[in-house]
Structure 1
Amino acid sequence: MLVGRRMRTSLITVTKEATLAQARELFHSHRIRHLPVVEGDRLLGIVTDRDIRQAAPSSAGGFTPDQIAAFLAQIPVTDAMVRDVRTVSPFTTIEEAAKLMIEHKIGCLPVTEAGKLVGIITETDILGILVDVMGIREPSARIELTLPDRPGALAEVTRIIKAHEVNISSIVTMPHWEQGRRLAIIRLKTMNPQPILKDLAAAGFEQPPLTFTPM
């Protein structure tokens, strides 16, 4: 899946003339945490609710809410925004965008094309995609299996499931904590997976024990 299919294109932005007080009001009224700062359709930077909290005087220092608001009304967003912004294109894959967010500890990525801001994708959007990929939005049964890390193992699992005439909502595999194995997380369009689990176990595909291994 590409970023362009899931990015937000109805953008809330501010210009470089906006103040931190105006940005804070947009955060509250639109329930957002990231604001691109633009000049026309060109991205200049990004300001977050955290940037504003760090720039504002603290109420613990004796400042009243009115004094804090007056202070923020004097500060342009350009004084607090991040200028070296990580961006992606509409053709960046979702997984690459998620990897960038994790590596750089950021909560959003502006989407640019030919130097123009065309969208934004946030960590909330990424989590929504995870929910869709895992098939959680529809009734299903979730099973986990330990597979040998060899060609054809997953095909054997799907053949057993097919023999029960049950559709698969989603399949995700990931590295197992034991070398030479993979963990498969499968959602089945049935509320009674026990007959399938029995046949899978007979074929050597076991459910992992309910123990937890630190990553």
Structure 2
Amino acid sequence: MLVEEIMNREVITLSPDETIETALKLLHKHHIRHIPIVDEENRVIGIVSDRDVRDASPSIFEKDNEPDELQNPIRSIMTTPVTTVHPLDFVEELASIFYEQEIACVPVTRNEVLQGIITEKDMLYTLIQLTGTNVQSSQIEVKVINKPGILPQVTQVFGKRKVNISSVLIYPYKPDPDYKIIVIRIQTMNPLPTIRDLEEEGYEVLWPKDPGMSS
């Protein structure tokens, strides 16, 4: 899946000369947490979060109803340089950026010009879709030997019951690097027949366990 498929194209932006007060009002009005700061050519030169604005705002106990701090330009608190991604980058790579850099928002640019924005909430929802947990389904975890061609061999068993596969994930089997775990979500609430098909073919099903099989 590409970044352009999940990015928000309608982006609220500000110029660096706008005031902190303006940013505060936009954050509240649009219920957002980040505002990219752009120049005259819509190139991203900074970014401001609700936390940045909150930290720059005076205390609620301040007697002055129009404190000077809120009139400071947004450039005085924006974060720069800004990590950006390209519309044709893969979502899986974007997830690594969120994790490694511990950020909550990434502007999307093409030739340095702003195209859209992706937040951690967008990323989380996309991962839910990729794993198939957003549809009614059952999860089956199969332990298999780590060798080329094993995935099509396993999925071939599912064709026997004509069940629809929602998603497939593969991760290492930590106790033994010679094996992997294939996690397959199928659109049925009764996975037992498929589990028994897998076991008859010699595959070890780790989850769910067939109640008819001895431990």
* Coarse TM-score class (shorter-chain normalised): 0.7 to 0.9
Cα offset, 1:181, TM superposition: 2.1
Which consecutive residues of structure 2, in runs of 5 or more, have no partner in the other structure?
A: 210-215
Look up the match of 2:57.
56
Per-residue displacement from partner, 1:167-208 (whole Å, max 9, x unpaired)? 111111122222222222211011110111122233222215
Q: Which residue of 2 aligns with 1:2?
A: 2
Equivalent residue of 2:185, what SS?
strand
Q: Distance in 2 between matches of 1:148 and 1:28?
A: 53
Cα deviation, residue 163, structure 1: 0.9
2:189 to 179, 182, 191: 191
TM-fit CA distance, 1:69: 6.5
Alpha-carbon contact 1:56-1:71 (below 8 Å) kept: no
Please list, as runs of the form range in 1=range in 2, the aligned pairs for 1:1-215 lying within 5 A after superposition: 1-40=1-40, 41-59=42-60, 63-64=61-62, 67=64, 70-178=67-175, 179-202=177-200, 203-207=202-206
Give the whole-Å Cα distance in 2 for the aligned partners of 1:115 and 1:70: 35
The 2-side partners of 1:159 and 1:137 are apart by: 24
Q: CA RMSD in A?
A: 2.1
Task: Please state how far the C-alpha of 1:68 moved relative to its aligned partner.
Answer: 8.1
* Cα displacement (A) at 1:138: 2.2
Q: TM-score by structure 2 length?
A: 0.87
TM-score (norm 1): 0.87
2:65 and 2:132 map into 1 onto residues whose CA distance is: 45
Q: CA deviation at 1:127?
A: 1.1
* Cα shift at 1:58: 4.3
- Counterpart CA distance in 2 for 1:68 and 1:200 is 70
CA contact (8 A) 1:140 1:190 kept: yes
Output the CA distance in 2 between the equivalents of 1:141 and 1:68.
57
How far 1:99 moved relative to its partner? 1.1
Amino acid at match of 1:14: L
CA distance in 2, matches of 1:145, 1:108: 35
| Distance of 2:69 and 2:117 partners within structure 1 | 25
1: distance between equivalents of 2:65 and 2:164?
57
Match of 2:213 in 1: none
User: How far 1:80 moved relative to its partner?
Assistant: 0.7
CA distance in 2, matches of 1:146, 1:24: 52
Aligned pair in 2 of structure 1 residues 186, 72: CA closer, same or farther (>3 Å)?
Answer: farther
Identity level (%)? 38
Residue pair 2:140, 2:208 contacting (<8 A) in 1 also: no
- How many corresponding residue pairs? 206
Q: Secondary structure at the match of 2:71?
A: coil
Report deviation, 1:71: 4.5
200 and 72 in structure 1: CA distance in 2 versus 1, 3 angstrom threshold: farther
